[in-house]
Amino acid sequence: MQYLPGPDFPTGGIIMGLSGIASAYRTGRGRIVVRARAEIEAYGVGKSRIIITEIPYQVNKARLVERIAELVHEKRVEGISDLRDETDRTGMRVVIELKKDVNANVILNQLYKHTDLQSTFGVINLMLVDGEPKVLPLRDILYYYLEHQKTVVTRRTTYDLNRAKERLHILEGLIIALDNIDEIVDLIKKSANPNEAREKLIARFGLSERQAQAILDMRLQRLTGLERDKIMDEDRMLRERVSYLQSILDDEKKLLAIIKEEALAIKDRHNDKRRTEITQMIEDIDLDDVIQEEDMAVTMTHFGYIKRLSPDVYRAQNRGGRGVIGQGTHEEDFVERLFVTTTHTHILFFTNFGRAFRIKCYVIPESGRNAKGLPIVNLLQLGEGEKVTAMFPVEGDGEEGYLVMATRNGIIKKTPVSDLQNIRKGGLIVQSLREGDALIAVEYSKGDDEFIIASKKGKCVRFAEEDVRPMGRTAMGVRSINLGDDDAVVDMLKVKKDGYVLTVTELGMGKRTPEDQYPLHHRGGKGVLATQLTEKTGDLACLKMSGEGEDAMLIRDDGTIIRLPLDQVNVISRNTQGVRLMRVDEGTRVVSVEVVPHADEEPDEAAPEAPQTPEAPAPVQE
């Protein structure tokens, strides 16, 4: 690498890393990544621009500029305010103006990803060896090149030697003629024709036919003393040259010295300044660098359509409001799950079959508020009848702690998160299930938390995590709550000290209750009342942990979402029904609730996106 650092392209650019070059040298095949030379220039207040001065080899600048403009028009790259080609006779200059406070490095990485500002050149060292094509590493290339140069120089030297010997042979005949010029002239004069003269010369002086013919072809001017000296000098030089050429053929060191000398001459002739820079380390285009980190609300429907969108579209409303459409649904589909995270966060998916999957949030397509979303089967390899029943973001590496999993039939299990580090595309089994059971909730813990399991009939049990010992991925688990007939677990939460337990029923009734009103028991009991259920409340839909300065997002099975400040939700005891949080039309029900950070917008009394109903919000006392 010291003597052959890598290719030098006429248009410059930057070769990213040495691994591709090293691979080509070592194996004969490699992949060289070349990027444009770009600088980020700051100006004004919070503004910057990207200046491109060199582009990869064979990239058309005009098409490159058009491609960048297309990406901006398609909104695949956002944050570019202007694009100019300022190239002139002094050199290339393409200017990309950015909007205020836009991260220039993110934009540049996006352009590397989606345009020819980064190009890849494949290397295949395919050569003919003894008439057979072979892919050769650099060492073999140099060996065969040297052997080829030996052959070339040997053939050239042999040719030059033969020519010199032939000329020397002629000169020897001319010298004989000059030494015997009078006799030769007399012999020629007495000959009847050239053939006779040639034969007499050969017979008299022992000349060859070529020498005799050269004497016959010699002009009379060669008989002068000056011409004689020239012939003698040429003879002397040719003898020296023949000796030198013969020594090259006899001595391989001299042969190699000539090859080296000629190689250095080529180097001197083409030794201009290197144009393509080679970096030591390749900067991989990680999608984390390409995609800006920002808050995202992730929703998924009952039939498995998933999407992400900005949480700002859900503005805060007073309790009892109608809400806005958060996801377009079709037929009887409805939104089941929602949480707020960032684009760079890993999301864990758990299915009713007890399998787990993991993807980055940005892999989920971003869609508009009324869009249906993408079928989750396009992102996860789900089996027939398998559907996602729990999903949540995992911050950081997530190597410490545990996953606490609850099933519909009241089974709970705790598994180390480290057991889920190597999740393949096909998923990983994390919960073994009995027939008729399904995984319905998963929480992350540090090993010393407390949990509340709730059933649809309003019963709940609070227990310490120490009651559940860690188990392997394929273990079945232990009993969490003793369920009655026609009852099932609907939710599980991790208790936060001094927080509030938010309970919401299927018909939109809800309340907040201090967590200390839920007594700590051992797992496996029948539990205590979480909320008073009546025909007006319906079954318990879910319960969540909440604190100060938070909002609640309630989701109906028709896809309608309402966001309301939790400080508007009454703090009352467990044995009450609560107040009206969301109006529920006949035939619809609340299916999911998510607690999110409080929005700064002023609450609206009503939302224009959804029709009003005559029912007014009002507290409901037990």
Our CA angle for 231, 237, 241, nearest 5°, is 140
Alpha-carbon distance 34 to 216, whole Å? 69
Confidence of residue 338 (pLDDT cuts 50, 70, 90): confident
Q: Is the dihedral of CA 470, 474, 478, 482 positive or negative?
A: positive
Q: Tokens 């910057």 — which residue?
A: 48
Alpha-carbon distance 551 to 427, whole Å? 33
Spatial neighbors of 156 by CB under 8 A, at least 6 apart, are none
pLDDT at 617: 39
Q: What is the pTM of this model?
A: 0.51
Q: Which two tokens stand for residue 220?
A: 């009379």
Which amino acid, one-letter code, is at 224? T
Q: Which two tokens stand for residue 378?
A: 């396009």
E-strand ranges in 343-377 read 346-351, 355-360, 374-375
CA distances from 611 to 371, 584, 619 (A): 19, 12, 22
DSSP string, 124-148: E-EEEETTEEEE--HHHHHHHHHHH
Query: 507, 475 in Cβ contact below 8 A?
Result: no
DSSP 361: G
606 phi and psi angles, rounded to 5 deg: -150, 155
Percent of the chain at pLDDT > 90 equals: 42
Residue 605 has pLDDT above 80, yes or no: no
Q: Tokens 């999608």 — which residue?
A: 287
pLDDT at 290: 62
DSSP string, 183-234: HHHHHHHT-SSHHHHHHHHHHHH---HHHHHHHHH--GGGGSHHHHHHHHHH
Alpha-carbon distance 404 to 549, whole Å? 27
Confidence of residue 618 (pLDDT cuts 50, 70, 90): very low
Alpha-carbon distance 149 to 145, whole Å? 6
Q: Go through the domains of the chain in sequence order and give each one's CATH number.
A: 14-124 (3.30.1360.40), 138-269 (1.10.268.10), 293-599 (2.120.10.90)
70 phi and psi angles, rounded to 5 deg: -65, -45
DSSP 250: H
Alpha-carbon distance 164 to 516, whole Å? 111
Which of 23-32, 209-218, 307-316, 433-442 shows the lowest per-residue confidence on average (mean pLDDT)? 307-316
Query: 492, 523 in Cβ contact below 8 A?
Result: no
Residue 462 has pLDDT above 50, yes or no: yes
pLDDT at 610: 36
Query: 569, 538 in Cβ contact below 8 A?
Result: no
Rounded mean pLDDT of 182-196?
88
pLDDT at 225: 67
pLDDT digits over 98-126, tens only?
988 777 888 898 899 899 999 999 999 99
Residue 247 has pLDDT above 90, yes or no: yes
- Name the pairing type of β-strands 14-15 and 277-278: parallel
